[in-house]
Every structure is written in structure tokens, then in C-alpha cells.
Structure 1
Amino acid sequence: MSDFIRSWIRNDRQERLYTKASVIAEEARSHVIKTDQNAEFSNETLKVMKLEKYPSLSLPVQFGGESLSLYEFLLLQEKIAEGDGAAALSIGWHLGIMMELSDEKSWKKHHFERLAKEVAENQAVVNRAATEPATGSPTRGGIPETTAVRQEDTYIVNGRKTFTSMADHLDYYIVSAYVEDLDDIGWFLIDRHQPGIRVEKTWDTLGMRGTESDDLVLDHVELSTDDLVEVKTKGRPSPKGWLLHIPACYLGIALAARNDAVKFAKSFQPNSLDTTISEVGHIQDKIGEMEWKLMQAHSFMYSTARRWDEEPEQRENMGPELAAVKLAVTNTAAEVVDLAMRIAGGRGLSKDQPFEKYYRDVRAGLHNPPMDDAVIRMLAGKALQA
């Protein structure tokens, strides 16, 4: 059986990094039944991630990392998602954030070095907490209802954040809030042990249950003014290549579904046939359709990642291209999983088979940013302005 991901490995370094992701993928795969049932992130998988020093890979070499390129990041994330999409998406936020902070240098030096030291030495894991019940996705521009009120040299933060992936397993949170004295949106770096922080178990979704994206509640959390690490800048935001970890994740889920569908077709023989269903014409058609869809998606995603890495001077102009990759790849991933389900037939709906989980998980990609409607409008605007 062909290995779509391995075919994109280009050198010994990528092979070494890919081996780390393969170890994590196998560990994550061994826990998917439990994590899906209980809507929890696996402690065992996180331990393996830290043993492999995965959280520090996207840090610059001088800060104890591997200076992971975007291309490499996607290779590793897709491989982990082949084992479990929820595990990949969850840790992908952390690696992407560290990549963003390293590249964009949007924090003061001492703020970044403080967090980087924790990640490099202790494999600390961090995520942004931005989404709220009233505002929905922060990409839509809503003002946080979480507030930060200054009292001399401290800020008192109150609010609730939803969709906080790995909420109970994170070492630090980067929390958005409306900062009253600045009349602006700010971001605070908060240690998980800070008094007033708690996680409420609210995650009960159809798919991606293993991300354990519970609510983060901040109840009169007292922070130093130095914990305010970022203030929202005006103007158009820079394109963020690291967000391609989202389509990479869903492509990994689709690849796992394809692999299992092919195995199923080669092993299942109903008593009405003299061969396995792999010899049936319409089954072969579906397998062939999965193949070309996966080829297209991989080519588009990885060629875009290479351009991001090799042409940094073009990054400011790559926003529409990055968004198009997300739209194309996540929708293709859903189509591939649907084909896998059709190959498995009614058996694919059974909890004894992996297909129904792939089907539920891959749907979540349509709701990760950027949303399809926003991407289509962006591309239309670009064409009309040309």
C-alpha cells in the first residue's frame, strides 16, 4: 500500500523527524476508542509527545528547538493525524503558536524567552484561548467579553473561553481580553496553576471529541502587568502559514480512512461473490477516486508550504493561497472519507469499524478557520480587483 506522506519526505532530517511523529501516531491510535468515548485527551499520548520532545520542535535552534519549517510541520502533523486526528489538531495549535511567535517576533524579547525556556526545558504546552460563547470564532472580529481591569500594578481578569483544546492538559494559556485602560484587545500569558483558573467539562461534540476542548473559566484572576504579552495591532493581519496544520490534520484523517477502506475491500468477501469486493468495478472506481483526490490535495498543500519556506519575501501576498489550501484540502478530506464509508457500506456505521469516527472527525474541519464562505469571498475580491 502506498504511503502518501512518506513520498513527500525529501532528506534524512525529515526522515528523522517523521519517525518521531510515527511513534506519536501509534501511541495516539492505541487510545482513540477511550478518548472518543470520554471526550478526553490522552495523558499517555501527551507523555510520548514530551518524551519525543515534540512540543519544542518549532522553536528556533538557539532556543532549544529544531527550527521546524512549515513543510516539515505539515508532514509531522499529517502523520500524527493518521493515528488520531484529535491528537494532531490539539498539539498542532501549540507548535503553530510557537512558530508564529518565533517568526513574527510580536512579543517583547523577555516575554518570548520566558515561554521558550519552559517549552525547551520542560516541554511545556500552550494554547490560545480566544473563542467565547457570545463572540463565536475570533476570526469573525468579535470583541471579547472577557475583561481585564487594571488595579495599580495588576490586572484582574474575568471571563469564559470555549473550544480550549487540551484545556486540562496545558501548562500555559494565552488568553484574549478587552483591556479597559487601553481600550483594546490584549493577550495574557497565564500559568495553569494561577488562582482563579478552572476548567469546566463542557466538551460534548459529534466529532474531534479527543481534543477535550472544554471551557476555560477565569474568575478574578490576578495577573502582573508583565503578563500582558501582546496587544492587538491595527491594520491587516499578516498571513499565517502555520494554520495549514488544520488541513494537514484533516488530510491525515482522510488518509487513514483510505487505508482502512482499501484493507476492507481486499479482505471482505460476501457469500454472493467468488472474490473480495476489491474486484468489483464500482468499488475500484471509488478507490481510484480517493487516490486522485488525495494526490491533488497533497500536491496543493505541500507545494504551497514549500513556497512559504523558500520564498519568504512572498509571504505577505500568500493569504488567499493559504486560505484556498484550507478550503480545498478540508473539503477533499471530507469527500475521501465519504467514499471510504461507501466502500464499507452499512458496516461502516458500526462502532466496531473505524469509519464512523473518521466521518465524524473530518466534519470538524469545515468549522475551523478560515471558513469556506470567507475564503470564497476573499478569492472573489482578489479576482475582481485584478
Structure 2
Amino acid sequence: MSDWEEKLPGVVEILTANAARHDREASLPDEGIQAIHEAGLLTATVHERHGGPGAGLADTVTILRSLGRGDPSAALVTAMTMFAHALQGRTPTWPDDVYAEALRADRPVLINELQVEPDLGTPVRGGLPATVAVETGGGFELSGHKIYCTGAELLGWMVVTARVGDTEEVRAFLVRGDAPGVTVKATWDHLGLRGSRSDDVTFDRVPAVLTAPAVRDPLTQAWNSLGLAALYLGVADAARDWLVTFLAERTPAALGAPLATLPRFQTAVGEIDASLGTSWDLLWSLAERTDAGDDAAAARAPAAKLIATRAAIGAVEQAVALVGNNGLTRRNPLERHYRDVLCARVHTPQNDAIVSAAGRVAFAGLLP
């Protein structure tokens, strides 16, 4: 058993104990992130050539599923950092000295890509960012506005997409989270993942470091798709566990026995377990095959995300329907799990893009 495997259950306990409070306060789970850091999970995907353990995608989905069970907001912040380290291991773009500095820190160094803008929306739908980096005598100065910046106030490094000067060239720039001219605006007021603090960030002539030109990396989509799907399966796992405990303990006077003794509740829980279990098997299998270099498995990752996140949402919806008002009252965690799991729909690639791409492949060569 690896070191992180031994420490992971304890980290999940810390996340679980504080998740409700951070949801109510819409505050970042700082003690959870510290625990994740101390367990070596934030840097689990740092490549071996940089002194890290070099965890692959299969290990990553396992970690994110467990963290999602405890607190999906902390899990999402962690996921962004793990994905960044994994990408740096596959296709390095950071200057060596900057990346080495990020790894030397003895505190949690969170990393996230900031791409979405108020007018642009998500860049995968097309368009040029309004954020601009202007070359100066000693490097670049970056100005602009990004939205939905997960973990913004605690980010050590921001990977910001911007146009280069007055050209249409778009590149990624590294910006320190505490650099002069960086302002985090507390705009996050979301239904779910409230503790992720995905606030706005504005930049006013901020010093920025140009990264190397990005090489198209087909594995990036696989990591994002399978990693985030695993996170939301973790949310559904937590909802399922609460449901099972509730049904085993709830004993209506008219029945004289726990609700769990009724066939209809047993059947419903069986359906949930079958759906979540097979979804996890799919994610794990594709992650393991992707680690082994199976390009076909990596290509199936978006479709697996679609299936697994639908299963996660469906399972929590079914749990809420089974217990009625108890599922929507704030004193029980099920309503929080429901709000959190709905956020699975917003991550790239989104469902319409996934099924449209699959449909185009199906008709390739058959239409004029």
C-alpha cells in the first residue's frame, strides 16, 4: 500500500467533518486542503523526474472519488492542481525554475487554469479572450477579467489564457496568486460546490511569465473527464451511504420495523448500487487502460463522463425521492449532496458536446 493510500481515509474524515460548515459559509475548506497537502495528494501526480511519485490516472480517479465523498469542493480544488502537475509531466510548458519553485514550497501550492471570461464564456465554444498580455522590456504585463476561478483566493499560481498584444495569438501565462494587480472578487454564490469559491479574478498590468507553446495533448481530456466523473461518483457514494443508514434506522410506528425491510426500498438501493458500481468499473477500467497507453480508452473518456455523471445525479435524485422531506431538509446532508452533484453538468466537455461528437462519428462517411 502506498503512503497516500494509508493517509487517504483520515483525510476524508477531516473533509467530511467540515463539509457542512463550509457549505453554509461558502468558505474554502482550508483545513481540508492542508490535510490533503500533508498527505501528499496535491503533488501525487508530480512526475518522477521532478522528484514526485508520478501517480497515473487510475490512482488519480481513486483519490478524487474518495475526496469527493468527503467534500467535493476540496476535491475540485485538488483536481485542478493534480491535473496541472500531470500535464506538466507529459508536456512541459512551465520554465524549469518557476516549476521548481512551485514544488519547493512547504505549504499547499494550488494551481488552476483560468480561461472563462464574462463575454467569452468557455473558450472550448470558440472565440478570443479579452484578457491581453503586453510585452515589456522585462517580460509581459497581463490585464483582464476571468470568472469561475476555482479556489481563487488560495491559488499559488494561475495559468491564465490571454491574447498576445493586439494579435489573435492566444497563449498561457503564469501569474502568481499574490502578485500586485491581482484582485479576487467575491462573486461566487452558487447552488452547489459552495466551498470551492470559484470567484472572479481581475488583472491590472500584472507581471506574467509566458509558457512554452502548448502541444496538443489528447490525454488532457481523458484526465479531466475521468477525474471529474470520479469526483461526482464520490458525492453519490456519500448520498447512498446516508440513505442506507437512514433506511436502516428509520422505524415508522405503523410499520414496527425499519424501512430497509421493505422490498421497494431494497430494490431502489440495489438499483443505485448497480448504477454506481458499474459506472465506477467503467471509469477505473478506462483510466487503467489510458495509463497503459491505450489511445482508444482515452478517446472513450468523455462518453464515460457522460454515463458516470448521469448515474451519479440519478442516484442522488432517487435517494431524495425515496425519503421525501427528509431528503431536502438542511439538517440532513442529502440535500447538500443533491446540490453538489448537479454541478457535474457544467464541466467541460459538456453533455451536448459529447453526444454531438459521438453522433458525427457514427455518420462519418455516410453523409455527403
Shorter-chain TM-score above 0.5: yes
Q: Provide the residue aligned with 1:242 in structure 2.
A: 223
Q: Distance in 1 between matches of 2:83 and 2:288?
A: 16
- After superposition, the Cα gap between the structure-2 partners of 1:116 and 1:56, relative to the gap in structure 1 and judged at 3 Å, is farther
Q: Distance in 2 between matches of 1:18 and 1:84?
A: 18
**Paired residue for 1:358, among 317, 327, 337?**
337
SS class of match (1:258):
helix
**Paired residue for 1:188, among 150, 161, 173?**
173
**Paired residue for 1:203, among 188, 196, 200?**
188
- After superposition, the Cα gap between the structure-2 partners of 1:334 and 1:186, relative to the gap in structure 1 and judged at 3 Å, is same
Query: How far is 1:118 from its partner?
Result: 2.0
For structure 1, the residue ranges without an aligned partner over 5 or more in a row are 1-11
- After superposition, the Cα gap between the structure-2 partners of 1:51 and 1:72, relative to the gap in structure 1 and judged at 3 Å, is same
Task: Give the TM-score normalised by structure 1.
Answer: 0.89
The letter for the 2-side match of 1:349 is: L
SS class of match (2:42):
helix
Query: How far is 1:377 from its partner?
Result: 1.0
Task: Give the TM-score normalised by structure 2.
Answer: 0.93
- After superposition, the Cα gap between the structure-2 partners of 1:307 and 1:319, relative to the gap in structure 1 and judged at 3 Å, is closer
Check conservation: 1:239, 1:318, Cα contact below 8 A: no
Check conservation: 1:70, 1:305, Cα contact below 8 A: yes
Show the 5 A alignment for 1:1-386.
12-13=1-2, 16-105=3-92, 107=93, 111-112=95-96, 114-122=98-106, 123-180=108-165, 183-223=168-208, 227-231=209-213, 238-240=218-220, 241-243=222-224, 244-310=226-292, 312=293, 314-315=294-295, 317-318=296-297, 320-385=299-364
What is the count of residue pairs matched by the alignment?
362
The letter for the 2-side match of 1:242 is: W
Q: Provide the residue aligned with 1:5 in structure 2.
A: none
Q: For residues 339-366 of structure 1, what are the alpha-carbon distances to aligned partners after superposition, in whole Å with 9 as ceiling and x for unaligned?
A: 1112222111100101100110000001
SS class of match (1:174):
strand
Query: How far is 1:22 from its partner?
Result: 1.9
Q: Distance in 2 between matches of 1:180 and 1:232?
A: 18
SS class of match (1:35):
helix
The letter for the 1-side match of 2:240 is: R
Query: How far is 1:75 from its partner?
Result: 0.5
Q: For residues 219-242 of structure 1, what are the alpha-carbon distances to aligned partners after superposition, in whole Å with 9 as ceiling and x for unaligned?
A: 12133xxx1014456xx6524232
The letter for the 2-side match of 1:350 is: T
SS class of match (1:177):
strand
Check conservation: 1:18, 1:75, Cα contact below 8 A: no
Query: How far is 1:319 from its partner?
Result: 5.1
Give the CA RMSD over aligned residues: 1.7
SS class of match (2:300):
helix
- After superposition, the Cα gap between the structure-2 partners of 1:230 and 1:79, relative to the gap in structure 1 and judged at 3 Å, is same
Query: How far is 1:153 from its partner?
Result: 3.2
Q: For residues 48-85 of structure 1, what are the alpha-carbon distances to aligned partners after superposition, in whole Å with 9 as ceiling and x for unaligned?
A: 12221222111112312111011011101101111111
Q: Distance in 2 between matches of 1:57 and 1:121?
A: 15
Check conservation: 2:175, 2:206, Cα contact below 8 A: no
Q: Distance in 1 between matches of 2:40 and 2:228?
A: 21
Q: For residues 183-207 of structure 1, what are the alpha-carbon distances to aligned partners after superposition, in whole Å with 9 as ceiling and x for unaligned?
A: 3111111112211011110000101
- After superposition, the Cα gap between the structure-2 partners of 1:230 and 1:209, relative to the gap in structure 1 and judged at 3 Å, is farther
Q: Distance in 2 between matches of 1:100 and 1:220?
A: 27
Q: Which moved more, 1:196-205 or 1:62-71?
A: 62-71
Q: Distance in 1 between matches of 2:231 and 2:71?
A: 9
Q: Distance in 2 between matches of 1:173 and 1:338?
A: 35
Query: How far is 1:121 from its partner?
Result: 4.2
Check conservation: 1:269, 1:275, Cα contact below 8 A: yes
The letter for the 1-side match of 2:218 is: S
SS class of match (1:55):
coil
Query: How far is 1:87 from its partner?
Result: 1.0
- After superposition, the Cα gap between the structure-2 partners of 1:308 and 1:237, relative to the gap in structure 1 and judged at 3 Å, is closer
Q: Distance in 2 between matches of 1:289 and 1:120?
A: 47
Query: How far is 1:181 from its partner?
Result: 5.6
Q: Distance in 1 between matches of 2:312 and 2:50?
A: 35
The letter for the 1-side match of 2:123 is: P
Check conservation: 1:184, 1:232, Cα contact below 8 A: no
SS class of match (1:292):
helix
Check conservation: 2:290, 2:298, Cα contact below 8 A: no
Query: How far is 1:182 from its partner?
Result: 5.3
Query: How far is 1:245 from its partner?
Result: 1.3
The letter for the 1-side match of 2:84 is: I
